[in-house]
Amino acid sequence: MTINNVLQEAMRDFKLDEREVEWSAMAFGLWLAPHNKWESADGRQLNFDLLARRLMRGDQRFGVCIGTHRVYSLMLLWRLNDEQRVDGKSIFLSDNIRDEIYAHLESVRESLKVCQFPDGHWPSNWSEGATALSEPIADLEYRQVIATGHHLEWLAIAPKELHPPHAQIVKAAKWVIKNTTSTPDDVIAGRYTFYSHVGNALALWRKTHPAEFWKEWRKTHPYVKPISKPAAGGTLPPAPAAVPPAP
């Protein structure tokens, strides 16, 4: 068996209205581009225009990890398309869908510009824009980690034109670094999938990937830090079922 076997099976089984289309969009984009058409097992003709429209459909808060994976997947598709244009023309996405994605990401940027809290984090209801800041909700800290880490992640692969002011990005990075380094190891273990996006985001901003960064870091930091004592209560906080775990 090969990765291609897995990909072919995923393409056959894919349903446009499946719950977590974000992962399929990323996998198909990274493995298939610039090819942009395929057929599912039920005979439906599929392409990346349909995938992109599915990701933009509905309220921005919908989707995995309070809507942030939709944003990353759209940014990924836009970047793949932009890097593979021929004579200025799209061969991966149609030009009108490319423009729709860009406009959608501009709206996300505008929300981030007006909903950041003074300490630097973005809230889980970031899609509400300025309302999220003026009428704050009882936001759980791990959901702030999800929002802040995931937004830093897609911004790391976005063109500067889609960035909020750089000072806001720095402020968000400082908040998420402080949160991560001050959180007990067992708590991070219980929320590992969320914190993994923090690590990936910071690695991407350094123009590298987590595994590569870790290998280089270990060359000069051979000491392995022991697992810290459990937080008060001694048990791992369970991840709520309402938030699907990220990979």
User: What does the pLDDT look like over 141-153, one tens digit per residue?
Assistant: 999 999 999 999 9
DSSP 62-92: -STTTTHHHHHHHHHHHHHHHHT-BTTB-SS
**pTM for the structure as a whole:** 0.84
Cα 240 to Cα 91, 190, 191: the distances in Å are 41, 11, 10
Average confidence (pLDDT) per 10 residues, the chain, 247 residues: 89 86 91 86 90 88 86 95 81 91 97 98 96 95 96 97 97 97 93 94 93 88 61 42 36
